[in-house]
Structure 1
């Protein structure tokens, strides 16, 4: 529940009011921008989420794919990455849906019955000692969805321009 000096304010506190270039953001790509992000991979989406906090800066993200990433290529999330997710407000949500690698199990054939396997070793994950956050497994596409949500809900309302290929730049 959100209480302010003027009483209760309804709505999702993660969605900030649109401001600056986020107000009446044009759907067409402008001829000039302050920041052009090429690619909606992890680096591009993280930068878009960060730049969405600066509504005085015209920022656009272009991606040659026709839409969001459907299936990722890197699903292991290090604890330090989860710390970054906390800065963007979605660490708790992604941790709740991801697989937490708290322990690693190693298996081998059972010497007494080689047609079965047995657990030979169980060890804690290294992350338990380096961060308050866990080592996670979650699809890369889902991580990008969270960054896209943060970018779209920031004051600059940044959303990827899909189907746009980078061909050149004039400064």
Structure 2
């Protein structure tokens, strides 16, 4: 019914008509903007997907990588996160391509024969049924792809400017665009070139070592986990168990 609330729709209802800043949107980073998003990680792409619904807000997004992320760092997707994906219209698609984590097996040394291992547990992944969606394992890059697609399909037509890194910022509240941001081209024909752009708001979505956070004199609150662990994606060719 959502697709037909304003009459019959013969085109893809998930691709909205460009409006406002989405009409004839310049490819290069503009000199002024309402919002500058620094980073195309999870926080950045979600912000872009949301702001794409506000075509009167000129939003730009920069990323120092030369192109999209290919291999992610966090591929486990909690079921409640998939509910968020549903709000952006891609829960079913990403669920189809992901691995569904239904249960886990735990193995430990055999107390009676320590050189061998035995299965000590096989619990259900979600015994309490916290969500109608499953716990997924999928490349983080694909999650970002879907959010970026939502941002590009929104009326504001937000797309990242890759190969541009944040350097520093200064704030002058007397200006219409109070945040002066120095950026550097990190790839392409203009590599090494610096320029200053101005924004009303800057979103620091550039990770745990955020340069935006440092530029405004803030520090990260919380604790770090100083231990190493690994995840392997393998096909075990074995006769065990």
- Give TM-score, length-normalised by structure 1: 0.88
- Point out the structure with max Rg over C-alpha: 2
State how far apart, in whole Å, the 2-side matches of 1:16 and 1:108 are.
53
1:166 CA drift (Å): 1.2
Where does structure 1 lack aligned partners over 5 or more consecutive residues? none
Q: Which has the higher contact order (CA 8 A, sep 6+)?
A: 1
Cα distance in 1 between the residues matched to 2:99 and 2:113: 31
Cα distance in 2 between the residues matched to 1:118 and 1:92: 37
1:11 equivalent in structure 2: 11
TM-score by length of 2: 0.64
Q: Distance in 2 between matches of 1:127 and 1:65?
A: 40
For residues 39-78 of structure 1, what are the structure 2 equivalents within 5 Å?
A: 39-78=39-78
Cα deviation for residue 9 of structure 1 reads 2.8
Distance 1:5 1:86, change over 3 A: closer
**Helix, strand or coil: the match of 1:57?**
coil
* 1:31 and 2:17 matched: no
1:161 aligns with 2:161: yes
Point out the structure with the larger helix share: 1
- Change in Cα spacing, 1:85 to 1:32, as seen in structure 2 (3 Å) is same
Aligned length in residues: 170
- Could you list the per-position Cα deviations for residues 109-129 of structure 1 after superposition, in whole angstroms to 9, with x for gaps in the alignment? 678988876544321113652
- Paired residue secondary structure (1:168): strand
2:28 paired with 1:21: no
Shift of 1:156: 0.4
Residue by residue, what CA displacement relative to the aligned partner does 1:52-92 show, whole Å, maximum 9, x if unpaired?
00000000000011000010011111122111111111111
- Secondary structure at the aligned position of 2:61 is classed as strand
Q: Is the 8 A contact 1:79 1:127 kept in 2?
A: no
